[in-house]
Amino acid sequence: MSQTFWIRPKSINRRTMLKGLGVAMALPHLEAMAVAKTPEVPKRMVAICTDQGIVPGYFFPKAKQKWTETRYLKHLSDHHADMTMLSGVSLPDVTGGHHADVVFLTGAAHPSRPGFKNSVSLDQVAAEHVGIKTRFQSLPILIGRENKRSLSFTRSGVMIPPEKKASNLFKKLFIQGDKKQVQAQMAKLQEGRSILDVVRVKSKNLADHVGKADKEKLEQYEHAVREAEKRLQTMQAWESKTKPTVKAKVPQDFLKPGYLIDRSRVMYDMTKLALETDSTRLVTIMIEGDFNPKVIIEGHDINEGWHQLTHHGWRKEKLSQLGAIEDAQFGVLNDFLNDLKSVKEDDQTLLDRTSVLYGTNMGCANRHSNDNLPYLVIGGGYKHKGHLKFDEKNNYPLSNLYLTELHRLGVNVNSFSSSTGTMKGLEFS
């Protein structure tokens, strides 16, 4: 009885589920509903982490100030009705300052401790359910220097290498190879599958001759090979389908670290195109400041590296430069939101069906703290209610938002990472 999965009392917040499907539904019909006769409404997510923090004083409202009137939120004035600001939230037991970027979407505890092992990221859990519907199960993107960091991690805690070039992303998404190229690619995928077939058998033989603990490790290898095979198979299937066409041209890459803002803009553009063409429904973007060269901001003389500026020690001239960088970051975010809103899908906009999670791994980069994270939830069909304030001393678990987000994406799980339940005060409309 596979359907029992759907009505197991604790498996999902039933009320939420019912609301999502129409409250009038009587319980016995739920099973039938789960098979979904209504046309599917695609649910999408873009999760963004800017890893040098966000100056809290410019983000959060001061006493008596409205949340919409803070320096940074003013940049997003067209979208205030579509967003929720979270304060007093953090990932439980996540410490380690900069090191916490790798757990931004996984919530694994203490990333800088000995013996640390990362866990699966929000997007990858979702990818197991909604990923198969699109050419790319998920798209991890890096706005940064090296291919070393992304927000996406597999079930075994392995980082999924990001794409860092907008032009590559464009090619992957939209450029159709000629017949010969497609054939060559198909042949390569086929070769890959036959190789994996051989090594999988090899590992099985090997596993028969080792002890229990070793066997588990080899089984992990075997499982990984099987997963890789499945993916090659899916890629083959997609390879034979025509890629969508778009009017846009191959974008410029802006790889020089100074071009943080231009780079962000083209990556946001690619993200919008990927979602609009339903090439993927899950995008993660790591914005990395792990480089020292100076960020170029029009009209400002930025004379120090971004990371150096975050250690401003409340010096005015440093803060003003850092503020200028972050102003520009919110500026391009606003453009991105405008773009998502400009795309109509059925009677909704792309933004209505895409939740944009925007935040950072450090509440205050100046002292590398990992609590009180500045965080925005935008679009996605949530009932947005402005500012959700939680206790600054005793933070509310951000992982609860991730659980809610999974439910929104149609992933029926009881918990995610360190979640203690679904997000208080955030409901689907």
Partner 1 sequence: MKVPIVIFAILIGGLSIALLNISPNKAEQPQEEVQVKVDYPKHINKFIGKYCTDCHDEDIQKGGVDLSSFSLENMTQIDEDLWAKVYHQVESGTMPPKKKKKQPTTELRHEFTNNLSEHLNSNIRTKHEMIGRTVIRRLTREEYENTLKDLFEIEDLEIKEFLPPDQKSHGFDNIAHSQNLSHVQIARYLEAADFILDRAMNPQPKPEYKEWDIEAVKAHRFNIGNDAIKKDGKIYMLRQPNSAQTPWYISDFKVHYSGEYKLKMWTYGTEVKSTGKGKETKLSDEKKTDKHHVLMFYANPSKNVLRKQGNVNVPPNKYEAPVSIHLNLIRGEKPLFQIATMSDRAYGTAIAVEKLQMTGPHISSWPPASHKLLFGDLQSVQWDNKMKVREPLQRYQNFTGIKSIKRQSSQWMVVSDNPEQDAEELLYKFMQKAIRRPVERSEVAPYLELVKNRLKENYCFQDSMKTGYKAILCSPDFLYFQENFGNLSDDALASRLSYFLWKSMPDKQLTELARNGKLKNDAILKSQVNRMLADKKSKRFIHSFIDQWLELENINLTIPDSKLFPEFDDWLQDCIARETYEFFTTMVKENLSPTHLVDSDFLVVNQRLAQLYELDKIDGDKLRKVKIPKDHIRGGLLTQASILKITANGTTTSPVIRGAWVTEKIIGKHIPPPPPNAGSVEPDTRGATTIRELLDKHRNNSSCIGCHQLIDPPGFALESFNPMGAYRERYRNLDKGDKVKKRILGKDAKYKLKLDVDSTGETVNGTKFTTINEFRELLLKDKKGLAKNVTEKLLTFATGSQVHFTDAETIEEITKDADVVGIKDIIHGIVQSKIFRRK
- Smaller CB distance to partner 1: residue 7 or 206? 206
Q: Exactly one of 172, 311, 389, 424 binds partner 1 (CB under 8 A); which one?
A: 311
How near is the Cβ of 171 to partner 1 at its closest, in Å?
11
Structure tokens at 46: 């873009």
Residues 6+ apart with CB under 8 A from 299: none
Q: How far is the CB of 220 from partner 1 (least distance, A)?
A: 5
For residue 358, what are the β-bridge partners?
48, 376
Q: Min. distance of Cβ 221 from partner 1 in angstroms?
A: 6
**Buried residues in 166-205 as b, exposed as e (16+ CB within 10 A):** bbebbebbbeeeeeeeeeeeeeebeebbeebeeebeebee
Contact between 157 and partner 1 by CB under 8 A: the answer reads: yes
Please report how close the Cβ of residue 83 comes to partner 1 at its closest, in angstroms: 28
Task: In whole angstroms, give the CA distance from residue 288 to residue 369.
Answer: 17
Q: Per CB under 8 A, does 304 bind partner 1? A: yes
| Residue 156 or 245 having the CB closest to partner 1 | 156
Nearer to partner 1, 4 or 194 (CB): 194
Tell me: does residue 132 bind partner 1 (CB under 8 A): no
Residue with smaller CB distance to partner 1, 348 or 420? 420
Q: Which residues, 369 to 408, sit near partner 1 by CB under 8 A?
A: 369, 371, 393-394
Site for partner 1 in 211-270 (CB under 8 A): 211-214, 216-218, 220-221, 224-225, 227-228, 230-232, 255-257
428 binds partner 1 (CB under 8 A): no
Of the candidates 417, 369, 367, 366, the one whose C-alpha atom is nearest the C-alpha of residue 395 is 369
Closest separation between CB of residue 161 and partner 1, Å?
A: 6
Q: What strands lie across the sheet with 282-287, from one edge to the other? A: 139-143, 282-287, 44-50, 354-359, 375-379, 83-87, 386-389
How far, in Å, CA of 63 to CA of 214, rounded? 58
**For residues 67 and 306, which CB has a smaller minimum distance to partner 1 in the complex?**
306
| Shortest spacing between CB 228 and partner 1, in angstroms | 4
Q: Output 9 or 114, the one with its CB closest to partner 1.
A: 114
Kindly report each contact of residues 166-171 with a partner whose C-beta sits within 8 Å and lies 24 or more positions away, as own/partner.
Answer: 166/251, 166/252, 166/253, 166/254, 166/263, 166/266, 166/267, 166/269, 166/270, 167/250, 167/251, 167/252, 167/253, 169/139, 169/141, 169/267, 169/270, 169/274, 170/248, 170/250, 170/251, 170/270, 170/273, 171/250
Between 42 and 192, name the residue whose CB sits nearer to partner 1.
192
Stretch that binds partner 1, among 11-19, 74-82, 196-204, 347-355 (CB under 8 A): 196-204
What is the closest distance, in whole angstroms, from the C-beta atom of residue 225 to partner 1 in the complex? Answer: 5
Q: What is d(CA 243, CA 409) in angstroms, rounded to the nearest whole number?
A: 24
Q: How far apart are the first and last CA of the chain?
A: 32
Q: Which residue, 41 or 158, has its beta carbon nearer to partner 1?
A: 158
- List the one residue from 11, 16, 118, 415 that touches partner 1 (CB under 8 A): 118
Q: Burial level of 36, CB count in 10 A (0-12/13-18/19+)?
A: exposed
Tell me how far apart the alpha carbons of residues 103 and 112 are, in angstroms, rounded to a whole number: 11
Instruction: Identify the residue among 50, 70, 87, 203 touching partner 1 (CB under 8 A).
Output: 203
Residue numbers 13-72 binding partner 1 by CB under 8 A: none
Min dist CB 120 to partner 1, Å, is 10
d(CA 271, CA 285): 9
Smallest separation (angstroms) from partner 1 to the CB of 118: 7
Select from 10, 37, 117, 179 the one that contacts partner 1 (CB under 8 A).
117
Tokens representing 215? 């066997």
Q: Tell me if 320 contacts partner 1 by CB under 8 A.
A: no
Q: Select from 32-40, 143-151, 268-276, 381-389 the region that touches partner 1 (CB under 8 A).
A: 143-151
- Identity of the residue, 76 or 169, whose beta carbon is nearer to partner 1 in the bound complex: 169
**Half-sphere exposure (Cβ direction) of 260: Cα atoms closer than 13 Å:** 31
User: Among 266-274, 319-327, 363-371, 415-423, which window interacts with partner 1 (CB under 8 A)?
Assistant: 363-371
- Residue 290: closest CA among 139, 116, 149: 149
